[in-house]
Amino acid sequence: MRMELIQPFINAADAVFAESLQGPTSIGDLSMEEEAYRRKGIAALIAIKGDIEGRVILDLSPEVAVKVAGKLTGAEVAESEQVIRETVCELANMVIGNSVTLLNDQGFHFKVFPPEIHVNDEGFAGTQDTEAMVLSIETSCGPIFLNIAMHYLHRRRAERASVPALD
């Protein structure tokens, strides 16, 4: 796992949650996982393809999602599946957008796919290249979980190695 690829996502999530939820945040335990991802609440998965490839899963309980929705709209929001889905997607979009900005300005180019709501209890196992980093961020609305699996595209990695080829 390359921390330089993961750090922008953690920094962006921390900043986005602090700003949009108007409260302090703290990063909880970090762990590396290679096993299939287990959903904790309702999750949005965003895939990235290009110079770097992988996926980010943003995961939160329905109760936390409703509190987040209230903060985002500035009004009390009744719980519904639509509200919860919209909330998770909006948070995921903001986190990914801000992360992508940081990585793009470092010279990485890639395509970001729209968030997909992840409803299976498990799936998306990590691989040797894409073991996932899992962390929770404590926010004023409750914990929000991030699961990040990211790696350099092989071509890009080969360029970085800059070993001259022998005929």
List interacting residues with other proteins (CB under 8 A).
16, 19-20, 69, 72-75, 86-87, 89-90, 93-98, 100-101, 104-105, 112, 114
Between residues 37 and 71, which has the closer beta carbon with respect to other proteins? 71
Closest approach of other proteins to the CB of residue 140, in Å = 14
Taking the C-alpha atoms of residue 103 and residue 101, their distance in angstroms, rounded to an integer, is 6
Q: Which residues on adjacent β-strands are paired with residue 147?
A: 57, 134
Decide whether 93 or 130 has the Cβ nearer to other proteins. 93
Cβ 114 to other proteins, closest distance in Å?
8
Nearer to other proteins, 67 or 126 (CB): 67
Residue with tokens 């990914």: 96
Cα separation of 94 and 152, whole Å?
A: 23
Which is nearer to other proteins, 108 or 152 (by Cβ)?
108
Contact 58, 91 (CB under 8 A): yes
Report the amino acid identity of residue 89: C
Contact 46, 96 (CB under 8 A): yes
Nearest approach in angstroms of CB 128 to other proteins is 30
User: Taken in order 160, 111, 58, 96, is the CA torsion positive or negative?
Assistant: positive
Measured from the CB of residue 129, what is the shortest distance to other proteins in angstroms?
25
Q: How far does CA 13 lie from the centroid of its chain?
A: 8
Smaller CB distance to other proteins: residue 5 or 37? 5
Q: Least Å distance between CB 16 and other proteins?
A: 6
